[in-house]
Structure 1
Amino acid sequence: MQKRKLTQVGIIIRKRLIEVGKTQVQLAKEIGTSKIYLNHILHGERSGKKYLAKIFSILGIDPDSVKRTA
């Protein structure tokens, strides 16, 4: 079984979660989805278009900086 890898956006979100001391469960509740769905977004299995702006806002991530690194 192949190990799943985080996308560039997933890496940025995960690092920021650690910096601000939040869990994926907490973030998922704040954006109104499940931890499983959030995990799918971080691994690129779902686009997350509906949630990305809210995730960036909650975590204080500049969306333009994400686009430059993606």
Structure 2
Amino acid sequence: MKKRKLTPFGLKVKNRLADLNMTQKELANKIGTSDVYLSMILYGERSGNMYIEDIKNILKLDDS
């Protein structure tokens, strides 16, 4: 079975969640989706276009 790998954006999100002591489930609740769907976004299995800006705003991520 192929091992899933985080996208560069997913890696940024995971690191920022750790910095903020926030769980992926908490972030999913704040943006209005499931933790499973959020995980699919972070691993590049879904585009998540409608959630990306919300994720960036909540985690205060820049576009770099």
RMSD (Å), alpha carbons: 0.5
State yes or no: 1:8 paired with 2:8.
yes
Structure 2 gap segments, 5+ residues each: none
Q: 2:34: which partner in 1?
A: 34
The one-letter code of the counterpart of 2:32 is G
TM score, norm. by length of structure 1: 0.89
Relative to total residues, which structure has the larger helix share, 1 or 2? 1
Aligned length: 64
How many Å separate the matches in 2 of 1:22 and 1:3? 25
Structure 1 gap segments, 5+ residues each: 66-70
Q: Which stretches of structure 1, 4 residues or more, deviate above 2 A after TM superposition?
A: none
The one-letter code of the counterpart of 1:56 is K
Deviation at 1:34, TM superposition (A): 0.1
1:5-60 Cα deviation digits (max 9, x unpaired):
00000000000000001000000000000000000000000001000000000001
How many Å separate the matches in 1 of 2:38 and 2:51? 9
